Structure 1
Amino acid sequence: MLNDARSHGLWEKTAIPAPLTISLSGALTADVVIVGGGFTGLSAALHLAEAGRSAVVLEGNEVGFGGSGRNVGLINAGMWVMPNDLPGELGNIHGERLLQLLGDGPQVVMSIIDKHGIECELERSGTLHCAVGASGLKEINERARQWQKRGAPVEILDAAETAARIGTNAYAGALLDRRAGTLQPLAYARGLANAALNAGARLHTGSPVHSYAQEGTGWKVSTAAGSVTAKWVIVATDAYSEGPWAKVRREQVHLPYFNLATRPLSSSLRHSILPGREGVWDTKEILSSFRMDRAGRLVFGSVGALRNTGTAIHTSWAKRSLARLFPQLGPVEFEYEWYGKIGMTDNALPRFHRFERNIVGFSGYNGRGIAPGTVFGRVLARHVLGELKEADLPLPVTDMKDPSFRGLKESYYEVGAQLAHFSGERF
């Protein structure tokens, strides 16, 4: 994408075609203007259009350019934070409300895919959060206990059951979440865009917003060659925010994350490695994740950026890791490699911002963008439609606040991941 093979890698090569769009030119009016063409913005546009409202999406680059088109593709329920910690962070009302919303998030994603016939390699087999050692086993047992208390269909697998599902003896156990699954993320973003367009929304790519101003009782949002005037503005740019809402990016610490994809595996290897097509990640501090795509490529990822010295270090580490996890693979070569940025907030929870009157947005997905982005887009649409008052939203209004030492932390994450991977898996 934008002539960068390391921005979207495998996903760009195997996704359904992007809808035909043009950049904004001239002056438009609408009920709502949405800034950002990722999961949140496209979901909001789809639900607004289905409700009969006129919605215009302005995307600075291409559909799914940011985190929506680069991520691993795990449709997770909930956030990284333990379920019982959310009420402590947000209060009982918002905490339990958010848990319910995000716990149901994967089903919302899957129902949208089914309704609109989106071709995005959807797998409904669940995900496996794998325990590394005794401390990891303690962590997933507690996470399962807290979700089970809320009626979630999760269970703990022992080491033997985990090995049978994954094809490696590396883990002490795993938390199987049957709510979850995997998909091809860029294909899903493009499918959302097609669904929104078919419902009547308008979408302009290559249209970065450079300013906005009050216009009567609404807002005029301007690009280099045009403008949209609307009563409501939804800001859906998250970790890749630039222009008037660059402060959304500044509120987050960027954590780089890369993915590497093998060539399609043989039939026998596909039967021994993830035969059920679950998505996997582990409990290490510098975690690893892996999954299988529809063609049988093993997609393996971890923290780090594939640039400068990081490319060789992370790629070499990944080969060593796969050799330990799956010796049956033999020598591994990667067909695709790509990376992006995860926007991390100080409490690992998303934010709701009211930037001005009738200018709102959710952000800060902390590496859990597919289901939260989709359901938060629907929530924003319902808020604009008047179906949900501000007091009924899943998150309280949060003031913008820049994290301390953001630049230093981002450098530490990138360099630290290289140091860890340079020495990791050598013995």
Structure 2
Amino acid sequence: MNDPENALWRSTCAETVSAPRLTADTSVDLAVIGGGYTGCSAALEAAQAGASVCLLEAQEIGFGGSGRNVGLANAGLWLPPDEIRAHIGQVAGDRLIDLLARAPSDVFALIEKHSIACEPVRNGTLHCAHSAAGLKNLQTRHAQLSAAGAPVELLSMDQARERTGSDAFHGALFDPRAGTIQPMAYVVGLARAAAQTGAQIHGQSPVQTMRHENGQWVLTTPGGVVRAKSVIQATNAYHLGLPVTAPAYVPVYYFQYATAPLSHNLRASILPQEEGCWDTGLIMTSFRLDQAGRMIIGGMGDLGNAGQSAHTAWVRRKLAELYPQLADQPFEQGWHGRIAMTSDHIPKITQIGPNALAAHGYSGRGIGPGTVFGRMMAESLLAEDPSRLPVPAVPEHRESWTRVRRAFFESGAALTHLIKARF
């Protein structure tokens, strides 16, 4: 049942793209490394602008975090607006807040424009208060988001019960800007749209070396060499090779389980408006329905780790707590993905060389920010205008004690799930 590479999203993906292995040398305006949201968005934007593009993915399109995502197309970052401004300043903070407030609109506009078959449902999301303290957190977020112009609504306990179909929450923050998608289908659809617009899309083509010589970049793969005026590295938490340009982040694992499709009667009592949800717990829980009516529930943890049994026992108990009527529903699939988290939870763009940028660190918010960052990085490089970037590029980004912090998050998640699975 456990499949780290996520057979569920792959098997229900209605999108396809031809991404053959690179087998010949080529020269382009822009080379993109990585076939996730950021890379595919960048390739699509550049191709639409008339540039020649070659995207190189070491595995298959959507192999990394993009294809293992929960599928919540949220507005903004995990941080409330005031914390974003505190980290990067008022002007830069306001700009990033505004850009990512519009990110769901950007995502759903691309879906409509390119007819991406990714089960889009734009009925908003619910951030659910798992405790009284969680409700206070949502009240603070509501005040800050409202002051920034966001059309969010704070729901009472009764309203949260009506919207979720669960008695487990003290309230919820509803964001009508957001929605849900089939995450693998979205990224494959972006790649397909980029290819139809003229981009070269290549899977099974890992970049082995990258050097800058005579005013251009030279990228070598097992099957051919790509020469490019500019480069975007969009490998995030699934960076393979090229240690010199490896992004610095704390790896955090997130797993999900999916039930069999629910009966019509069961489905009618759960999330009647089909919002995507997550809670305010420090060890967060997410839950949503897909188009077929599967309940997909997730939490922090690595199913490939020794804590797998604790995570598995917990998710069964958690589902029963949220929805007692689902206590006996079988799980069809379980999978996990790796998140690139930064200390301040703000994505980074690094200047890895002349006309070369890398982005990483969405801290679990890959769909909207990845789409926006990819597009704007392509715009910036093609126009040779750094002011078009969503955040200023930095020469490097460092994280300390990454292994220790990874162990802390995983052991904390496993211990929390172990205790809650038993009591």
Q: Same fold (TM over 0.5)?
A: yes
Q: Distance in 2 between matches of 1:299 and 1:310?
A: 20
Q: Which amino acid aligns with 1:416?
A: G
SS of residue paired to 1:112: helix
Question: Which deviations, in whole Å up to 9, do the C-alpha atoms of 1:224-272 show, x marking residues without a partner?
Answer: 22111011011111111122256444x1000110000000011111110
Which residue is equivalent to 1:15? 13
Structure 1 moving runs of 4+ over 3 Å: 245-249
Q: Distance in 1 between matches of 2:406 and 2:150?
A: 35
Which residue is equivalent to 2:33? 35
Task: Using the TM superposition, give the Cα deviation of residue 213 of structure 1 relative to its aligned residue in structure 2, in angstroms.
Answer: 1.6
Q: Distance in 2 between matches of 1:123 and 1:9?
A: 22
Q: Distance in 2 between matches of 1:5 and 1:344?
A: 23
Alignment of 1:326-341 (within 5 A): 326-341=323-338
Which residue is equivalent to 1:423? 419
Range with bigger deviation, 256-265 or 353-362:
353-362
The unaligned stretches of length 5 or more in structure 1 are none
Is 1:257 the counterpart of 2:216? The answer is: no
Q: Distance in 2 between matches of 1:371 and 1:191?
A: 15
Q: Distance in 1 between matches of 2:388 and 2:379?
A: 11
Is 1:280 the counterpart of 2:282? The answer is: no
Is 1:345 the counterpart of 2:342? The answer is: yes
Range with bigger deviation, 356-365 or 257-266:
356-365
- Aligned sequence identity (%): 44
Task: Give the TM-score normalised by structure 1.
Answer: 0.96
Q: Distance in 2 between matches of 1:83 and 1:202?
A: 38
Alignment of 1:10-409 (within 5 A): 10-244=8-242, 247-249=245-247, 251-386=248-383, 389-409=385-405
Task: Using the TM superposition, give the Cα deviation of residue 392 of structure 1 relative to its aligned residue in structure 2, in angstroms.
Answer: 4.1
Cα pair distance change 1:392/1:51, threshold 3 Å: closer
Q: Which amino acid aligns with 1:423?
A: I
Is 1:412 the counterpart of 2:408? The answer is: yes
Which residue is equivalent to 1:5? 3
Range with bigger deviation, 156-165 or 213-222:
213-222
Range with bigger deviation, 415-424 or 340-349:
415-424
Does the CA contact (< 8 Å) of 1:218 and 1:232 recur in 2?
A: yes
Q: Which amino acid aligns with 2:416?
A: A
SS of residue paired to 1:26: coil
Question: Which deviations, in whole Å up to 9, do the C-alpha atoms of 1:367-412 show, x marking residues without a partner?
Answer: 00000000111101211221x7213422122242432221121122
Q: Distance in 2 between matches of 1:264 and 1:311?
A: 24
Does the CA contact (< 8 Å) of 1:247 and 1:400 recur in 2?
A: no
Task: Using the TM superposition, give the Cα deviation of residue 310 of structure 1 relative to its aligned residue in structure 2, in angstroms.
Answer: 2.7
Question: Which deviations, in whole Å up to 9, do the C-alpha atoms of 1:283-315 show, x marking residues without a partner?
Answer: 000010000000000000000011243332211
Q: Which amino acid aligns with 2:396?
A: M
Cα pair distance change 1:330/1:424, threshold 3 Å: closer
Alignment RMSD (CA, Å): 1.4
Question: Which deviations, in whole Å up to 9, do the C-alpha atoms of 1:50-94 show, x marking residues without a partner?
Answer: 111100000000000111000100001111111111122111221
